[in-house]
Structure 1
Amino acid sequence: MDKVIIAKDLSLSYSNNETIINKANFSISSGSFVFITGASGSGKSTLLKSLYGGLKLKQGSLTVGGVELGNVSRSKLNFLRRHIGIVFQDYKLVKEWSIDKNIMLPLLISGYVKGVAQNQVDKLLKHVRLNHQSGKYPLELSGGEQQRVAMARALAHNPIIILADEPTGNLDEYSSELIWKLLEGANEQLNTTVIVVTHHIPSSLNVDYKHLHIEYGSIHEVC
């Protein structure tokens, strides 16, 4: 199975003084479902941020989707990001835009014409059970509904990788279950590589997964 992510002696930090991830070595196969766990402040979100080029490497190498992120050009980074879907705990929706426009943005960036993009948006809203909310704005929706919009946005451009940072941390049980089903469906039906930062791995998830745990700057696989 091809490796979609390869880290070799990867070190990450936000300053020259403190190393958060220290000389980590791991790989993730294409089509995998991966959980990243660790205590608060252990570096889970830092690692996830590095995977979409949001944080420069301190040391080592990190290859994502065939793109080496150590000294990546802006054009290659933009190319990679067009193949990644990201789901944040706080949704990161543009509040001044309708939910339809929020979902449409990655499609327009990827070059879809507006009519085709709108058709895709309609399908996605139905997929996340929000077609009845079409045209509304994020603040008119509950937190769980906003996260489902964020999930639709992440799926919009058929990404090869979905990165999710505590995607159910603020949600009610119904919305949490739906988000997990959407992530599981993307992995099983579309062969999307799904990487989730979480404090708790749901027992109800019906998928084989890889578990990476971060402790004191080190990353190891939990068997």
Structure 2
Amino acid sequence: MADIITAKNLSLGYERDKPVIKGASFMINTNDFIIITGESGSGKSTLLKSFYGGIDILGGELDVCFYDLNKIATRHLRALRQKLGIVFQDYRLINEWTIEKNVMLPLMIMGYDKNTCKKQSENLLKYVKLGHKIGKYPLELSGGEQQRVAVARAMSHNPQLLLCDEPTGNLDEISSDMVWDFLKAARDSWGACVIVVTHRAPSTLKFDFRHFEIKEGRVIERH
């Protein structure tokens, strides 16, 4: 079982003398499902940002997909991000594009031909039970449907690592359950390591996961 993320004495923050994450050390494996919880402002999203190079490291070491985030070159950061899928709480879909084209976007950026992009998008939208709305635009969908499009988009290029920032924070219980099911499938069917930041792990989850809690800047694994 290989490590996809390794952190050693990692410190993160937006001001050098005020770290949000303090001296964190942990390892995440390629087939893990990780849930990160903590109070608002505890540093959950800060930690998630560090995994895709969205924040500078104040101290310690962080390796993601065998890239050293301490001294990563711009071209290598681009290569790393092609191995990642990211799902945000506010969906971040392009409202002027159909949902089919939104799901195609990562593949288009990576240079795949139009037919490959289209077929993958169609397959994923069917999988998230939106195949019948393929020509619709994001604002024609409910919040839960938009988030399912966002999950499909994040999975379109078969990422090694799927990062999710409060993916069910704005959704009702039924929509939330569907999103959790799709995230589980991302690990079980597509082989992605899944990391989800959320206020608390749902008590209804019927699969194994590792639970990290951020408390006073420390990253603690709960068993």
TM range (shorter): over 0.9
Other structure's SS at 2:15 match: coil
Match of 1:46 in 2: 46
What are structure 1's unaligned runs of at least 5 residues? none
1:20 aligns with 2:20: yes
* Post-superposition offset of 1:141: 1.0
1:149 aligns with 2:160: no
Match of 1:176 in 2: 176
Other structure's SS at 1:58 match: strand
Match of 2:65 in 1: 65
Match of 2:167 in 1: 167
Q: Which amino acid aligns with 1:15?
A: E
Q: Which amino acid aligns with 2:121?
A: V
* Structure-1 separation of matches of 2:82 and 2:205: 28
Q: Which amino acid aligns with 2:43?
A: G
Match of 1:130 in 2: 130
Other structure's SS at 1:190 match: coil
* Post-superposition offset of 1:114: 0.6
Q: Which amino acid aligns with 2:49?
A: K
Q: Which amino acid aligns with 1:200?
A: R
Other structure's SS at 1:119 match: helix
Q: Percent of aligned pairs with the same residue? A: 52
* Structure-1 separation of matches of 2:220 and 2:172: 31
* Structure-1 separation of matches of 2:10 and 2:56: 11
* Post-superposition offset of 1:204: 2.6
* Post-superposition offset of 1:110: 2.2
Other structure's SS at 2:61 match: strand
Aligned length: 223
* Post-superposition offset of 1:205: 2.0
Q: Is contact 2:30–2:193 with CA below 8 Å preserved after alignment?
A: yes
Match of 1:30 in 2: 30
Match of 1:204 in 2: 204
Q: TM-score normalized by structure 1?
A: 0.97
Q: Which amino acid aligns with 1:138?
A: P
Q: Is contact 1:184–1:205 with CA below 8 Å preserved after alignment?
A: no
What are structure 2's unaligned runs of at least 5 residues? none
* Structure-2 separation of matches of 1:200 and 1:9: 25
201-210 or 81-90, larger mean C-alpha shift:
201-210
Residues 148-171 of structure 1: CA deviation (Å, up to 9, x unaligned): 110000110001110011111110
Match of 2:103 in 1: 103
1:139 aligns with 2:135: no
Match of 1:88 in 2: 88
Q: Is contact 1:97–1:137 with CA below 8 Å preserved after alignment?
A: yes
